[in-house]
Amino acid sequence: MLETRELSRSFGKLAALSNVSFSVDKGEVFGIAGPNGAGKSTLFNVITGNYAPTSGKVFFCGNDITGKKPYQICQLGIGRTFQIPTTFHTLSVYDNIKVGSTFGGYKTRPPEEILEFLNISQLSALPARNLDLYSTKLTMLGAVLATNCQLLMLDEPMAGFSIVEINRFIEVLQRINKEWGVTIVIIEHLLDILIGLTERMLILSNGSLLYLGPSSEVTQDRKVVEVYIGAAHKEEFHAES
Amino acid sequence: MKKIISNWQASFVAAIVIFLAAYPLLGPSSYLKHLFILFFIWSVVAAYWNLLNGYVGINSLGNIGFLAIGGYTSGILALRFGLSPLITIPIGGVVTGLLVTLFLGFPALRLSGIYIALLTLIFADSLPSILTQTRDITGGGMGLHEIPPFFPGMEKVHTYYICFVFFLIAMLILYKVIHSKTGLAFVAMRDSENLANTLGINRYQERLKVFAISSFMTGIAGGFYVHSLGDISPTTLSIEPFLLALAMIELGGIGTFFGPILGAGVIVFGNEFLRLAGTLRLTLLGALICGVILFYPGGIMQLVEELGTRIKVLFNRKKVTE
């Protein structure tokens, strides 16, 4: 469904992303992890048209979408959320979602359906600036879902959540994936959550691909352990496991 | 969805409209009618300026320039070619719309924040020197005089009603725009351009649209301005009208529908009554603006909203005690 080929992006001399190739299948929940500054958000921004790639190509459903504008990418069926919780703060929750329904392209979902699906109908009339972190992120997610995206890209959606909120949010993601058949690509710092949620994942380090494969085997990978736990503790880690 | 006009506001607006419609029947002086005509025109200018600044968040400082282009175009066509203002005013609007969209709309697609403010300010500021160098057509520093009225031989009261109807139609159009799909896109772009783009809003298209709407309507207002007053000169583009128009928006409440209208009322009438204070006029006006911004950063509209909620609370209390 989504495929990148040798995708690179540099900022001056800094190679934020170099030669990243991977593909995501339809209906999959795919994870992306990596230390701070590894290029996870840059990868998202290049795919969704916020940045143009320095080289390489992005394909969606077999079509080349490299260099398209964010609004065009949205109308093609790729939705994304931001790491920084973003809403239209002067608009009500309903109107926030309505923006997605109105401009999201072909066959969008009505706000009522989204409110009900996310179970936030009671927040409908509240201005978005009055929401707490969890509701803000649900509203942002709702607005993106209203565009009727086939591929949903989430940039650290659970940062700052409590354990209870994390569990509730994971449930929501699983329902989006199962009930609506939406393919999900998710960036997440916490490996255990990602391992539980996804079948496959990739790990970025300094802009390059460090690991691409089944999520269940990620902790067995020597390079991943080195980056995540540090070379000094490698022996200790392997002795324990 | 939060309604912009709650019930008490709706009745208040209806009362004001009826008052404005019946006002000339009370036999006011020609001077007072003149003030109301100015109020109608400046309300439209301020309201469509607010569409750019308050609703979309494009910091335009050039809207007086839009007014001047519309006014001069319509005035020149009527004066030099003897065309009816009924034709020249729409032509003035179209010319303004085209020029502004071309010279400001397209460059503004690549600029943001303060740079748009600079560009639009330079645009408006370049007009006086163009005018003084085209004396044969525009009248130079002296401006245009004896511009024909809407109809030959009309009186002040007719001008009053023509401008009143224009004011109503312009506000109705603005209300429709703000509550349309386009209006939703405008506010979304103001709140977060990033998220707006991600949700499928075409930034370029919407930005061109708002420049086109705002400049077209302000150009039309310019036409009504010259045919009501009979003259226009580069002083229209001087610093005082510019600051007063900005003050209307700030004072009334930026980003609100009724704010610029209220602001225009306070500035147009306040400015005239303060003439009694002589040279202190602008100082007092400045103090008033500072005071409002200091205590009510949301402008008069914030005060109105607060009073509204207090009245509601009072009514509810009465009901409870009964």
pLDDT digits (tens, 9 = 90+) for A140-162: 999 999 999 999 999 999 988 99
pLDDT mean across residues, chain B:
89
Asked if B200 and A71 come within 8 Å (Cβ–Cβ), the reply is yes
Residue A46 DSSP SS3: helix
Q: Nearest CA to CA, how far is A200 from chain B (Å)? A: 26
Q: Measured between beta carbons, which residues in chain B are less than 8 angstroms from residue A102?
A: 181, 184-185
Cα B117-B119-B122 angle, rounded to 5 deg: 105
B2 contacts A88? CB cut-off 8 A:
no
* Closest C-alpha among A69, A63, A72, A59 to residue A24: A59
Determine the residue type at A198: T
On whether the CB atoms of residues B14 and B21 are closer than 8 A, the answer is no
Chain A positions touching B187 (Cβ under 8 A) are 88, 90-91
User: Which one has a higher pLDDT value, A233 or B155?
Assistant: B155
Distance of alpha carbon B71 from alpha carbon B73, whole angstroms: 6
A117 Cα distance to chain centroid: 19
Q: Is the pLDDT of residue B43 over 90?
A: yes
What's the pLDDT score for residue A226?
80
Question: Within an 8 Å CB–CB cutoff, is residue A238 touching chain B?
Answer: no
Query: Of the candidates B45, B38, B218, B226, which has an alpha carbon nearest to the alpha carbon of residue B139?
Result: B226
Q: d(Cα B94, Cα B99) in Å, to the nearest integer? A: 9
Residue whose token pair is 């009727």: A148
Q: Is any Cβ of chain A less than 8 angstroms from the Cβ of B181?
A: yes
How far is the CA of A187 from the CAs of A39, A133, B180, in angstroms?
A: 11, 18, 36
| Alpha-helical runs (H) found in B133-202 | 135-138, 156-178, 181-191, 193-198
Interface size, chain A vs chain B, as Cβ–Cβ contacts under 8 Å: 80
Q: What is the pLDDT of residue B6?
A: 61
| Chain A partners within 8 Å of B255 (Cβ) | 90
Q: Name the helix (H) or strand (E) containing A151.
A: strand A151-155
A100 in contact with B at a CB cutoff of 8 Å?
yes
Sign of CA dihedral B226, B229, B234, B240: negative
CA distance A71 to chain B (A): 4
Query: With an 8 Å Cβ cutoff, are B181 and A88 in contact?
Result: no
Looking at residue A121, its amino acid is S
Percent of chain B scoring above 70 in pLDDT: 97
Nearest residue, CB atoms, A71 vs list B2, B191, B201: B201
How far is A70 from chain B, CA to nearest CA, in Å? 6
Which of B188, B195, B200 is facing A75, going by the closest CB pair? B200
B1 touching chain A per CB within 8 A: yes
A106 Rama sector, left if φ>0, alpha if ψ -120 to 50, beta otherwise? beta
Does an H or E element contain B314, and which?
helix B300-321
Q: What is the mean pLDDT of residues B127-155?
A: 88
B1 pLDDT higher than 70? no
Q: B1 vs A95: CB contact, 8 Å cut-off?
A: yes
CA B307/CA A54 separation, integer angstroms: 56
Q: Is the dihedral of CA B224, B225, B231, B237 positive or negative?
A: negative
CA distance A78 to A71: 10
From the CA of B203, how many Å to the nearest CA of chain A?
A: 8
Condensed to tens digits (0 to 9), the pLDDT of residues A78-130 reads 999 999 999 999 999 999 999 999 998 778 899 999 999 999 999 999 999 99
CB–CB of A71 and B197 under 8 A? yes
Q: What is the arithmetic mean of pLDDT over B153-163?
A: 91
CB contact A127 to B (< 8 Å): yes
pLDDT at position B240 is: 87
Contact with chain B for residue A125, Cβ under 8 A: yes
Nearest to B111 by CA among B187, B59, B52, B51: B59
pLDDT of residue B315: 74
DSSP, collapsed to helix, strand or coil, labels residue B179 as coil
Q: Is A129's Cβ below 8 Å from some Cβ in B?
A: no
Distance between CA atoms of residues A39 and A29, nearest Å: 20
Determine, for residues A89 and B191 on separate chains, whether the beta-carbon distance falls below 8 Å: yes
Q: What is the mean pLDDT of residues A211-237?
A: 75
To the nearest whole percent, how much of chain B has pLDDT over 90? 57
Amino acid found at B313:
V
d(CA B86, CA B91): 9
Residue A227 near residue A210 (C-beta atoms within 8 A): yes
Residue of A nearest to B3 (CA): A125
CA distances from A134 to A86, A130, A157, A162 (A): 12, 12, 10, 9
Asked if residue A231 has pLDDT above 70, the reply is: no
**Partners of residue A141 in chain B, C-beta under 8 Å:** none
The answer to whether the Cβ–Cβ distance between A88 and B191 falls below 8 Å is yes
At B320, the pLDDT band (50, 70, 90 cuts) reads low
Confidence class for position B2, pLDDT limits 50, 70, 90: very low
Pick the residue from chain B with its C-alpha nearest to A76: B200
**Residue A202: what pLDDT?**
93
CATH number of A2-77+152-240: 3.40.50.300
> B198 and chain A: CB distance < 8 Å anywhere?
yes
Q: Is A130 on the interface with B (CB under 8 A)?
A: no
A114's CB contacts (< 8 A; 6+ apart) are A97, A100, A101, A142, A145, A146
Confidence (pTM): 0.86
Local confidence band at A239 (pLDDT 50, 70, 90 cut-offs): low
Between residues B281 and B73, the one the model is more confident about: B73
Domain ranges of chain A: 2-77+152-240, 87-149
Grouping H, G, I as helix, E, B as strand and the rest as coil, residue A189 is coil
| A85 interfacial to chain B (CB closer than 8 Å) | no
ipTM: 0.88
With 80 as the cut, is the pLDDT of residue B165 above it?
Answer: yes
Residue A109 CB partners (closer than 8 Å, separation 6+): A101, A145, A146, A147, A148
| pLDDT, tens digit (0-9, with 9 covering 90-100), for A196-210 | 899 999 999 888 888
Q: How far apart are CA A133 and CA A143, in angstroms?
A: 15
Neighbours of B281 (CB within 10 A): 16
State the average pLDDT over residues B19-47: 92
Interchain pair A103, B199: CB under 8 A: yes
Q: How far is A48 from chain B (nearest CA, A)?
A: 8
Is some CB atom of chain B closer than 8 A to the CB atom of A60? no
Burial of residue A164 (CB within 10 Å: 0-12, 13-18, 19+) is: exposed
